């Protein structure tokens, strides 16, 4: 069995797509994310996610710079506080159903 | 997206250390093979824990199956394996993921590479392939420790002629085993996966260390990085 | 609101001797590794630790200098903002009183900075008086990289994010300058006994 001391238990952005649905209406794992630090671009699902931290930290797979930070804390009142720092994302390009288009 | 109620319709052992949970999910919209769900558990005092699990069943199947491999000392997987019973209600968010997915319409060739429980999304893809009558060429290279750890024997035992399954054992192999053993290094990969010339769509899933080592070796073998899709489970998987 | 899951209690242990701050649980023997980024690979040949910023002179120690400084053994409880606490952890390191000796600071705050780019801010006063250390040993062995080795800051009276891993130095600042988590909304001070997890709440 692997232990908790395994270094760098990183996941990929796929695992961030669920939590992001608390804030966004579409699944962002296939959206192309461009890094503010190095301009590297890759699907959000292919970026690197550090989940064992006070918040989820998504890092650029090219330069390891922070792309975004995200947390959601639910309170006993039934309300959750969502915090999102998107400052490391220079651009996000997603393909969504066009307004009015039938599916 | 909010959390949906999922009623456990069946739980059955999938291997000595893994269980299959068959769920009926309120308002389920259907999924694409390769997607996952987030499961949320809530204790009496309001404490919650959530974990991601890939969907093992095919989109064509009415109920949603998950396959959970137990992690020693884990908070959630031992509970799902030992305590969950038919009729229990769990909370689930999903389906999630638009990147690590395959549909029959995407065609082939497709190369799947799994480490341990990382085979779960591929069970969905292979079952989808069979039920869709797809003629895409699919290869699965499935790395596991011991023969008795294999998940998805039902699906893997009835794949069609267009699908080829290769096992690689890292700890113990069946008597007389001629196939690959040990780690999936560049040598093993060169021999057992579709080469870059065939321009396969490659999917790699499993523990983080496994996924990163395999993806690195594939690039070294000349595969285009953008043709490789990965799903890291963390190192506890 | 979430529905209770039959028979699920999670991995939380309580303790009743008054050593558990509000909202925390006892993690027992485990030592969870929290990381917001890759573990830096550190070359001890070029490593140094500095005290800089608003100071009259920059103090600098190479790895050799640092290991030659007087070390002490410390046994303390840790409280992580993600709600686990770990009791009676044994460390070895250099008191910040030693590192800050003879520095005349031109400000009353510091920013601890690290390999990998992490930063955290603290009042300078919280680093003095035998309450903070730069540690290079844990549990009788050299501090492992996953836990912040070669050297991490240890400020056990504040939430653990203040005990920066992979420490490379302390910059004295005139104003309190929010660090990595503080800029995300975490509390500027982070006292576990007053449950100061987030700023303004
Ligand atoms: C997208 C995605 C899909 C996945 N799909 C599947 C799947 O189909 N099937 C599957 O089986 N898994 C899957 N996983 C992995 C799954 O999400 C869980 O990580 C896994 O089930 C382990 O969870 P756990 O709660 O049992 O272990 P955890 O409690 O998370 O612990 C993991 C390890 O860390 C140690 N540990 C962590 N925190 C502490 C602590 N505070 N105290 C003591 N020890 C600690 C544990 O001892 C254990 O060794 C997937 C992961 C991802 C990201
Ligand atoms: Zn970058």
> Which CATH number goes with the domain that contains C155?
3.90.420.10
- What's the pLDDT score for residue C1? 64
pLDDT reading at B215 higher than 90 = yes
How far is the alpha carbon of B207 from chain A, nearest alpha carbon, in Å?
Answer: 9
Report whether B23 contacts B66 (CB < 8 A): yes
- What's the pLDDT score for residue A76? 75
User: What residues in C contact A74, CB-CB < 8 Å?
Assistant: 2
- On whether residue C33 sits in a domain, the answer given is no
pLDDT reading at C103 higher than 60 = yes
User: What residues in A contact B37, CB-CB < 8 Å?
Assistant: 18
Look up the domain containing B129 and give its range: 104-232
How far is the alpha carbon of A98 from chain C, nearest alpha carbon, in Å?
Answer: 33
Residue of higher predicted confidence among A6 and C21: C21
Collect residues with CB below 5 Å from ion ligand 2.
A 35, 37-38, 40, 60, 62-63, 65
* Ligand 1 atom 34, closest CA: A4
Output the CA A36–ligand 2 centroid distance in Å.
7
Q: What percent of chain C has pLDDT over 90?
A: 90
Residue of higher predicted confidence among C200 and C126: C126
Tally of domains in chain C: 1
Output the CA C54–ligand 1 centroid distance in Å.
45
- On whether residue C4 sits in a domain, the answer given is no
Q: Does A6 touch chain B (CB under 8 A)?
A: yes
B115 shares its domain with B214: yes
- On whether residue C172 sits in a domain, the answer given is yes
Residue where a domain stops, chosen among B60, B75, B96: B96
Res. C201 pLDDT band, cuts 50 70 90: low
Mean pLDDT of B132-146: 97
- On whether residue B163 sits in a domain, the answer given is yes
Report whether A46 contacts A12 (CB < 8 A): yes
Q: Which residues of B153-171 are buried (b: 16+ CB within 10 A; e: fewer)?
A: eebbeebeebbebbbbbbe
- What's the pLDDT score for residue A102? 60
Atom of ligand 1 nearest to the CA of A11: 53
DSSP B23-48: EEETT-----TT-EEEEEEE-TTS-E
Q: What is the mean pLDDT of chain C?
A: 95
- On whether residue C18 sits in a domain, the answer given is no
Measure the CA–CA gap between B160 and C66, rounded to whole angstroms: 65
- What's the pLDDT score for residue A4? 35
ipTM of the assembly?
0.92
pLDDT reading at B208 higher than 60 = yes
CATH number at residue B16: 2.40.30.10
pLDDT reading at B20 higher than 50 = yes
B110 shares its domain with B71: no
pLDDT reading at B106 higher than 60 = yes
User: What residues in B contact C30, CB-CB < 8 Å?
Assistant: 73
Mean pLDDT of C127-137: 98
Look up the domain containing C188 and give its range: 46-75+87-194
Residue-range domain boundaries for chain A: 9-93
B53 shares its domain with B168: no
CB B208 near ligand 1, within 6 Å: no
Q: Does C75 touch chain A (CB under 8 A)?
A: no
Report chain C residues touching chain B, CB-CB < 8 A.
Answer: 2-12, 30
- On whether residue B237 sits in a domain, the answer given is no
Tally of domains in chain B: 2
CB A15 near ligand 1, within 6 Å: yes
Residue where a domain stops, chosen among B48, B80, B96: B96
DSSP chain C: -PPPPTT---S-B---SS-S-TT-EE-TT------SSPPPP--TTT-EEEEEESBSS-EEEEHHHHHHS--EEEEEEEE-TTSEEEEEEEEEEEEHHHHHTT--BSSSEEEEEETTS-EEEEEGGGGSSS--EEEEEETTEEPPGGGT-S-EEE-TTS-GGGS-SSEEEEEEESS----TTGGGTB-SS--GGGT--BTT-
> Which residue shows structure tokens 């390191």?
C93
Structure token pair of residue C43: 């070359």
Do the chains contact at A45 and B98, CB–CB below 8 Å? Answer: yes
Q: What is the mean pLDDT of chain B?
A: 95
CB B82 near ligand 1, within 6 Å: no
| Rg over CA atoms, chain A | 15
Q: What percent of chain B has pLDDT over 90?
A: 93
User: What residues in B contact C6, CB-CB < 8 Å?
Assistant: 88-89
Residue where a domain stops, chosen among B96, B124, B145: B96
- On whether residue B26 sits in a domain, the answer given is yes
pLDDT reading at B237 higher than 60 = no
Instruction: Categorise residue C2: left if φ over 0, alpha if ψ from -120 to 50, beta otherwise.
Output: beta
- What's the pLDDT score for residue A1? 27
Q: In what order do the strands lie in the sheet with B228-232?
A: B163-169, B138-144, B110-115, B201-206, B228-232
Do the chains contact at C3 and B42, CB–CB below 8 Å? Answer: yes
- Cα B166 to its chain centre, rounded Å, is 15
Res. B73 pLDDT band, cuts 50 70 90: confident
B218 shares its domain with B109: yes
Of the candidates B135, B70, B145, B137, the one whose C-alpha atom is nearest the C-alpha of residue B114 is B145
- What's the pLDDT score for residue A77? 80
Q: Which residues of chain A have pLDDT under 50?
A: 1-6
User: What residues in C contact B75, CB-CB < 8 Å?
Assistant: 10-11
Torsion of CA C77, C81, C82, C86, to 10 degrees: 0
Output the CA A45–ligand 2 centroid distance in Å.
15
Ligand nearest to the CA of A61: 2
């Amino acid at each position: 069995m692997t232990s908790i001391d395994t270094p760098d238990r990183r996941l990929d952005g796929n695992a961030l797509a669920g939590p992001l649905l608390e804030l966004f209406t579409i699944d962002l794992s296939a959206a192309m994310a461009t890094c503010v630090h190095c301009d590297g671009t890759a699907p959000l699902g292919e970026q690197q996610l550090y989940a064992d931290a006070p918040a989820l930290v998504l890092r650029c797979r090219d330069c390891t710079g922070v792309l975004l930070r995200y947390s959601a804390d639910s309170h006993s009142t039934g309300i959750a506080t969502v915090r999102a720092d998107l400052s490391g994302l220079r651009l996000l390009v997603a393909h969504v159903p066009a307004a009015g288009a039938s599916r | 997206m909010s959390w949906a109620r999922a009623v456990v319709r069946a739980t059955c052992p999938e291997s000595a250390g893994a269980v299959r949970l068959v769920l009926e999910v309120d308002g389920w919209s259907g999924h694409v093979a390769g997607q996952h769900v987030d499961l949320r558990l809530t204790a009496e005092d309001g404490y919650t824990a959530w974990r991601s699990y890939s969907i093992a069943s095919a989109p064509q199947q009415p109920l949603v199956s998950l396959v959970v491999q137990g992690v020693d000392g884990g908070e959630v997987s031992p509970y799902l394996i030992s305590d969950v019973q038919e009729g229990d209600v769990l909370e689930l968010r999903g389906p999630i993921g638009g990147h690590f997915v395959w549909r029959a319409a995407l065609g082939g060739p497709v190369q799947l590479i799994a480490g341990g429980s990382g085979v779960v999304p591929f069970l969905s893809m292979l079952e989808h392939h069979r039920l869709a009558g797809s003629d895409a060429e699919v290869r699965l290279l499935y790395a596991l420790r011991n023969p008795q750890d294999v998940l998805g024997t039902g699906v893997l035992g009835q794949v069609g002629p267009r699908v080829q399954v290769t096992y690689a054992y890292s700890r113990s192999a069946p008597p007389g085993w001629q196939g690959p053993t040990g780690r999936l290094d560049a040598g093993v990969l060169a021999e057992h996966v579709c080469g870059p010339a065939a321009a396969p769509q490659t999917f790699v899933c499993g523990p983080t260390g496994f996924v990163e080592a395999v993806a690195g070796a594939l690039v070294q073998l000349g595969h285009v990085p953008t043709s490789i899709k990965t799903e890291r489970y963390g190192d506890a998987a | 609101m979430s529905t209770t899951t039959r028979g699920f209690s999670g991995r939380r242990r309580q303790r009743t001797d008054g050593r558990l701050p509000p909202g925390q649980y006892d993690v027992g023997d485990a030592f969870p590794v929290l990381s917001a980024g890759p573990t830096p690979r550190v070359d001890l040949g070029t490593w140094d630790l500095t005290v800089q910023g608003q100071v009259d002179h920059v103090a600098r120690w190479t790895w050799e200098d640092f290991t030659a400084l007087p070390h002490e053994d410390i046994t303390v409880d840790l409280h992580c903002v993600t709600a686990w606490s770990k009791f009676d952890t044994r460390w070895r390191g250099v008191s910040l009183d030693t590192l800050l000796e003879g520095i005349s600071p031109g400000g009353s705050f510091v920013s601890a900075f690290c390999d990998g780019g992490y930063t955290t801010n603290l009042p300078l006063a919280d680093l003095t008086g035998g309450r903070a250390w730069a540690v290079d040993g844990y549990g009788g062995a050299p501090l492992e990289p996953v836990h912040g080795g070669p050297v991490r800051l240890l400020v056990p009276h504040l939430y653990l994010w203040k005990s920066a891993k992979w420490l490379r130095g302390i910059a004295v600042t005139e104003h309190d300058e929010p660090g990595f988590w503080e800029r995300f909304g975490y509390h500027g001070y982070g006292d576990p006994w007053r449950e100061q997890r987030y700023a303004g709440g």
